[in-house]
Amino acid sequence: MKIVRRVSELRDEVRRARARGAERVGIVPTMGALHDGHLSLVRAARRDGDVVVMSIFVNPKQFTESADLAGYPRQEAADAALAESAGVDVLFAPDAAELYPDGFATTVHVGGPLTQTMEASGRGPEHFDGVATVVAKLLLASDADAAYFGQKDAQQVMVVRRMVADLGIRTRIVACPTVRDRDGLALSSRNVRLSAEERSRATAIPRALEAVEAALALGETSVEALHARAAAVLTAAGISPEYVAFVDERTVRPVSEIADPVLCAIAARVGSVRLIDNALLALPDPTEEH
């Protein structure tokens, strides 16, 4: 595995790989503190392509809380070892000055409901400006054929897809399934900051999603009723969510009934740790045998 820190070096590595015959380059953008969720994205990129690039960059432009940025775990040596063992060919680990040099004055902004609801309500619209800007830079720098993201960050994936379509960036955006721990909690770099008691309470988040899915399977399609099911599970664990949203999976517009595929997304603080999770809801197939 080659570690590079400059955009010019990354471009040179990709150019040389293509000259050697590599047809498909995949990139896995991360902020480090790698876990098996990240590594599952590497494995997907490895299956699909000839060259796998991973970026590790704690992007200051997508943090709206300075304490969250300061407290974000940084462990490059351990991350590099994990990346190499998972099959990464090129690790791109720039500093902030490389991606945002003196005089940097451009922001990529995706407008409309995609960046005005859910995560934007708690983190501010500038959060997705930071995401769109850094992802655009990474895709252009790597000239990747595909980029791999986790479905846990569903709204982020939707924003990136919109940005890529609008700007005509050729990279295909691939959303991979959320990876969960044995207790059901979605893997996140923030999970290590949970105490044992908080960790136990946090499992109410995936259990709330499971309660919604179970009710839907029994024929309940009213979002009001499904919201109440999720809220009951969270309340029982002493969790007051920032939101429990039921939105169209393409537009993130709120819905009142489950018809087309709907994203049920939850954000909540457990202690000082902010966690997100989601499930894609669809009506049971009436042709399936029971």
Residue 155 labeled ligand binder: no
What is the distance between the alpha carbons of residues 164 and 217, in angstroms, rounded to a whole number? Answer: 35
CATH 1.20.1250.20 at 189-279, yes or no: no
Helix (H) / strand (E) containing 275: strand 273-281
Residue 35 labeled ligand binder: yes
Read off the pLDDT band of 67 (50, 70, 90).
low
What's the whole-number mean pLDDT along residues 139-163?
97
What's the whole-number mean pLDDT along residues 273-280?
96
Percentage of residues in the chain with pLDDT exceeding 90?
86
What's the whole-number mean pLDDT along residues 196-206?
98
Question: Per residue in 212-228, pLDDT tens?
Answer: 999 999 999 999 999 99
The structure's pTM equals: 0.94
Residue 247 · residue 113 · CB < 8 Å: no
CATH 3.40.50.620 at 2-176, yes or no: yes
Choice among 38, 109, 127, 290 that is catalytic = 38
290 is catalytic: no
Read off the pLDDT band of 286 (50, 70, 90).
low
Residue 280 labeled ligand binder: no
What is the distance between the alpha carbons of residues 266 and 273, in angstroms, rounded to a whole number? Answer: 14
What is the distance between the alpha carbons of residues 259 and 207, in angstroms, rounded to a whole number? Answer: 22
What is the distance between the alpha carbons of residues 147 and 145, in angstroms, rounded to a whole number? Answer: 7
Residue 5 has pLDDT above 90, yes or no: yes
- Count of alpha carbons within 13 angstroms of residue 174, beta-carbon side: 22
Residue 181 has pLDDT above 80, yes or no: yes
User: Whole-angstrom distance between the N-terminal and C-terminal Cα of the chain?
Assistant: 49
Residue 72 has pLDDT above 80, yes or no: no
Query: CB-based contacts of 196: which residues, under 8 Å, 6+ apart?
Result: none
- The domain locations on the chain are 2-176, 189-279
What's the whole-number mean pLDDT along residues 171-191?
96
Give the residue from 19, 77, 18 showing the smallest Cα distance to 53: 18
Read off the pLDDT band of 84 (50, 70, 90).
very high
Buried b (16+ CB within 10 A) or exposed e, 33-66: bbbebbbbbbbbbbeebbbbbbbbbbbebbbeee
Please give the DSSP secondary-structure letter assigned to residue 257: B
Per-residue pLDDT at 66: 72
Residue 91 · residue 3 · CB < 8 Å: yes
Question: Per residue in 133-150, pLDDT tens?
Answer: 999 999 999 999 999 999
Residue 79 · residue 34 · CB < 8 Å: yes
Residue 218 labeled ligand binder: no
Please give the DSSP secondary-structure letter assigned to residue 61: G
86: which 2 tokens?
């998972």
What is the distance between the alpha carbons of residues 55 and 78, in angstroms, rounded to a whole number? Answer: 14
Residue 189 · residue 72 · CB < 8 Å: yes
